[in-house]
Amino acid sequence: MLLLDQIYSPLDLRKLPEDQLSRLCEEVRRRIIDVVSNTGGHLASSLGVVELTLALHYVFQSPVDPIIWDVGDQAYAHKLLTGRREEFETLRQAGGLSGFTRREESEHDPFGAGHASTSISAALGIAEAKRLKGEQGKVVAVIGDGGMTGGLAFEALNHAGSLERDLVVVLNDNQMFISRRVGAMSGWLSQRLSGSTFNRLRRHIKERLTSWDHYGEDALHFMRRLLEGTKAVFTPGILFEGLNFQYVGPVDGHDLEALVSMFRNVRSLDGPVLVHVRTTKGKGCTYAEENPSRYHGVGKFCVETGELRSEGKKPPAYTQVFSRALVDLARKNDRIVAVTAAMKDGTGLRAFADSFPDRFYDVGIAEGHAVTFAGGLASQGFRPVVAIYSTFLQRAYDMLVHDVCLQNLPVIFVLDRAGIVGEDGPTHHGLFDLSYLGSLPNLTVMAPSDENELVRMLHTAADFEGPVAIRYPRGSAVGVKRDAKVKKLLVGRGRIVRATHKKPDLAIVTIGTMLHPALKASKVLAERGIEVVVADARFSKPLDEVLIVRLAAQAGRVLTVEENVVAGGFGQAVCACLQKRGLQVPVITLGVPDCFVAHGDPQSLRGQLGLDAGGIVKSALDFVKKSQTGERRA
Ligand SMILES: Cc1ncc(C[n+]2csc(CCOP(=O)(O)OP(=O)(O)O)c2C)c(N)n1
């Protein structure tokens, strides 16, 4: 029987003799590869921390010693060892385990994650709560070298160094974010002497000290202390020791014996400790080790070869269309520069970076800085394109308000993954941006309904004197014919996509890609004798008020559709517009209700939310029927 199949909780792990741990590591690795090959998921990060996870659970006593994983996508081994082994095959599937840590899932996940750089703050809060409640136990935060580039992580280190609680921060240094790591701290972490080089040097000096016998025991003791004290200067430790952390490392994160004995020592230390562990992303799986970026987050793949399973021929993804269009635009306009926060590949900026290395900036996992940095560039006449996923721009809200919109600076925000993202779930769905952007003065907000519109919007934004946001969803575009010569749009003007010769019974106004299910729905409704006019608003801010008022007056009923929360979103802006114009027309706003949307297949999630053609037909039929009955009664 496999050792892994006997582990129901970390208690079972702690009962194993130490010499069986490496066998267990192999089994954990195998299980992760097998399951992720069927479900897709974050393979390389999780494989890199198998020994680290085992060693942590072997020495620390979760949940008394809580372990907080930054981002949470590397926590698959943690899930397998903390009572979720039997459900592991449901990873990222509807109703199954989340791909990240989640409080609802286990007492061993005391703090949920998905976004980076939160672990040290959360762990410090938990450590402080333990003190206030008089509870025992150490608190451990495990953070990658990527997560460590986020401002939040620095803020937490600064605070932790002054609070002096029993906090262990494990820096998982694999020299990779999703792509190759960036930033000055990377150089700091890798260029200093490695632990083993320093230890060799120290041994050498200690040997020499024996010839100092004639200076007496005190002098020798002093020299040895001095030598210990210099460790931080020669290793990356000086940075952390300056913040009042005891620095331990660098330690080989795949050497189980070394990890276990080091954590035993660390567990007995008081105050904040930083443990620097070096690991290899994708460890133990040739293709993931060779190409950790590709296997950071993967779809289904063949276990033997690592080849990704083909999804059939599809139109290019919105990300790809943006990627090419930006390069074309930047060839003609040398004021265009591009900024990413550690998502060069995900946001499609790699082609730009390769073509214009001098005009490309990867700032690390630092969305707030990315936005203000872009503001600075824009203030000097450049046209920065800041490409950030919708969900991650949330972190930079004040920068958006204070450093860009208030100063009316022409920064172009390109929000990929706006809408339902699917298997990554609630931490990654981009379902709030129309609301959080819609309330900002000076900002123009556009949402393309297809790839041709995306290119038009990008060109329109490049010439616009003010901040602009363009939001589009994850995945394949529609496959429409593209303009031979890109047509720019009139800012704040929507378009009618489906007209009707008769008086319409209903006007459906959509934003972004919701146009397509609405068009499908309109055909079904026509077959049921309901005449529908369909308009694509193109801009959720400023709204095409003239168009909306005209359609509302003609149809007497408006249904809005958006892949965003209803609260503060596009539909509510349409309601406000009609109210302002004194038009008493009933409006139904379709979108995401006041809840976080779980993980699962994107199309099924849309179906559950009533945001597919069937859902729109149903809402439209109910709406028309109810209001006709009301009209008859009146
Ligand atoms: C705020 C935020 N921005 C961007 C991301 C996307 N993201 C997920 S993992 C990752 C890289 C993390 O690197 P690191 O912390 O070194 O962990 P590793 O995967 O290398 O173990 C990024 C940028 C995120 N999760 N959160």
Catalytic residue among 51, 241, 367, 453: 367
**Phi, psi dihedral angles at 85 (to 5 degrees):** -60, -45
Q: Which residue do the tokens 């790699």 mark?
A: 350
Task: Report how far ligand 1's centroid is from the alpha carbon of 71 (Å).
Answer: 6
The three-class DSSP label of residue 368 is helix
How is the chain split among helix, strand and coil, in percent rounded to 5? 45, 15, 40
| b (16+ CB within 10 A) / e for 346-370 | bbbbbbbbeebeebbbbbbbbbbbb
Instruction: For residue 92, report the distance from its CA to the centre of ligand 1, in Å.
Output: 18
pLDDT recorded at residue 130 = 96
Mean pLDDT per 10-residue run, the chain (634 residues)? 95 96 97 97 97 98 97 97 97 97 98 98 98 95 96 96 94 85 73 58 66 68 66 73 91 96 95 96 96 93 93 92 98 97 97 98 97 98 98 98 98 98 97 98 98 98 97 97 96 97 95 98 96 98 98 97 98 98 96 97 97 98 86 69
Ligand 1: residue whose CA is nearest its atom 25: 115
Tell me 597's DSSP state: -
Residue 134: its pLDDT value, please?
A: 96
Q: Which of 130, 359, 395, 471 is catalytic?
A: 395
365 CA: nearest ligand 1 atom: 3
Maximal C-alpha separation, the chain: 111
Kindly provide the residue ranges of all beta strands, DSSP E only, lying in 517-623, ordered along the sequence: 532-536, 539-541, 558-565, 587-592
Contact between 480 and 452 (Cβ < 8 Å): yes
What pLDDT score was predicted for residue 200?
Answer: 66
DSSP code per residue over 193-233:
PPHHHHHHHHHHHHHHHGGGGGG-HHHHHHHHHHHHHTHHH
Please give the pLDDT value at position 352: 98
Q: Count other C-beta atoms under 10 Å from residue 271's C-beta.
A: 14
* Peptide bond just before 315 cis, omega within 30 deg: no
The pLDDT of residue 181: 76
Of 531, 582, 573, whose CA–CA distance to 555 is shortest?
Answer: 531
What is d(CA 512, CA 473) in angstroms, rounded to the nearest whole number? 9
State the alpha helices, DSSP H only, in 251-395.
Answer: 256-267, 286-290, 318-332, 350-355, 367-379, 390-393
Contact 456, 493 (CB under 8 A): no
Question: Nearest-5° angle of CA 319, CA 425, CA 150?
Answer: 70
The 3-state DSSP class for residue 533 equals strand
**What residues line ligand 1, using a CB cutoff of 6 Å?**
45, 48, 71, 73-74, 115-116, 144-147, 172, 174, 176-178, 281, 341-343, 365, 367, 392, 395
Tokens standing for residue 182: 């960036």
> Is 367 a residue of the active site?
yes
Q: Which domains does the chain have, with CATH numbers?
A: 42-74+100-195+235-280 (3.40.50.970), 318-471 (3.40.50.970), 495-633 (3.40.50.920)
Catalytic residue among 84, 192, 281, 606: 281
| Amino acid making up residue 538 | R
Q: Give the integer Cα–Cα distance in Å for 277 and 247.
A: 11
